[in-house]
């Protein structure tokens, strides 16, 4: 009988611990809400993420957008980016590319690389604004110079095609390489193509094959 008692004791201990953890989580939510209602920007953002991902509270995109908006209005960059993404997808708010643009603009002008990339992407796609590759390239460059791989890749594509910038294969290779070295598979594939064609670099089939293998996930 003793093993049974031991098992029951362990189970009761675990159950108690789980209950205490749940209570602690609820207390944290209440504390955060109190701080948020007092205007604490970190609490506003954290509440937004909790509702966005359903952490310690039921998932509720409208509530997430509500708290993100309050943090965004206070200049909190990550909230501006997250709210912008919600406007892009129509998650918790009506889809609105212009509102998304404004959110990304606010964060981009504060130097956030993700926002700069998203802002550039919307100019490139003509979402919420007239399509403008030159403006897209301007924002991609700012994000790329901060090491954002997606922006580096897109900037490479623009130089390869001559979209918004003068066509320049050497510049294309430069940006593809930066993104490729961070593991961007699209950039690895395009860099391989540049070596195969001899565009912007001396033609080199071995180097091309190396980057194609990396893009394919072979021989990493």
- Taken in order of first residue, the domains within the chain and their CATH numbers are 38-110 (1.25.40.10), 134-220 (1.25.40.10)
DSSP letter for 26, please: H
Q: Which two tokens stand for residue 17?
A: 């611990």
Q: Which helix (H) or strand (E) holds 218?
A: none
User: What confidence score (pLDDT) does residue 87 get?
Assistant: 98
In 68-110, which ranges are E strands?
Answer: none
Q: Rounded CA gap, 148 and 150, in Å? A: 6
CA angle 97, 101, 106 (to 5 degrees): 155
Q: Which two tokens stand for residue 206?
A: 């071995």
> What digits encode the pLDDT tens for the residues 176-203?
999 999 999 999 999 999 999 999 999 9
Burial of 113 (0-12, 13-18, 19+ CB in 10 A): buried
Q: Which carries the bigger pLDDT value, residue 88 or residue 219?
A: 88
Say whether 52 sits in a helix, a strand or coil: helix
User: What confidence score (pLDDT) does residue 86 get?
Assistant: 98
Q: Which carries the bigger pLDDT value, residue 64 or residue 24?
A: 64
Q: Which two tokens stand for residue 113?
A: 């690389």
DSSP letter for 201, please: S
> What digits encode the pLDDT tens for the residues 137-178?
999 999 999 999 999 999 999 999 999 999 999 999 999 999
Q: Rounded CA gap, 72 and 82, in Å? A: 9
Instruction: Quote the pTM value.
Output: 0.83
User: What confidence score (pLDDT) does residue 28 get?
Assistant: 82
- Residues 195, 157 contacting (CB under 8 angstroms): no
Q: Rounded CA gap, 118 and 102, in Å? A: 11
């Amino acid at each position: 009988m003793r093993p049974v008692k031991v098992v029951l004791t362990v189970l009761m201990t675990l159950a108690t611990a789980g209950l205490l953890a749940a209570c602690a989580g609820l207390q944290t939510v209440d504390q955060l809400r109190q701080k948020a209602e007092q205007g604490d920007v970190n609490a506003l953002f954290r509440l937004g993420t909790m509702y966005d991902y359903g952490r310690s509270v039921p998932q509720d995109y409208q509530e997430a957008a509500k708290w993100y908006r309050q943090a965004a209005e206070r200049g909190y960059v990550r909230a501006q980016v997250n709210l912008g993404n919600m406007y892009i997808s129509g998650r918790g708010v009506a889809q609105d590319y212009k509102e998304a643009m404004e959110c990304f603009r606010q964060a981009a002008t504060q130097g956030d690389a993700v926002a700069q990339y998203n802002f550039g992407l919307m100019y490139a796609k003509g979402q919420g604004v007239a399509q403008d590759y030159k403006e897209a390239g301007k924002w991609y460059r700012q994000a790329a110079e901060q090491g954002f791989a997606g922006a580096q890749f897109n900037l490479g594509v623009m130089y390869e095609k001559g979209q918004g910038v003068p066509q320049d294969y050497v510049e294309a290779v430069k940006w593809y390489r930066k993104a490729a070295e961070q593991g961007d598979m699209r950039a690895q594939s395009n860099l391989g193509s540049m070596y195969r064609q001899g565009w912007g670099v001396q033609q080199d089939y071995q180097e091309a094959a190396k980057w194609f293998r990396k893009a394919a996930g072979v021989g990493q």
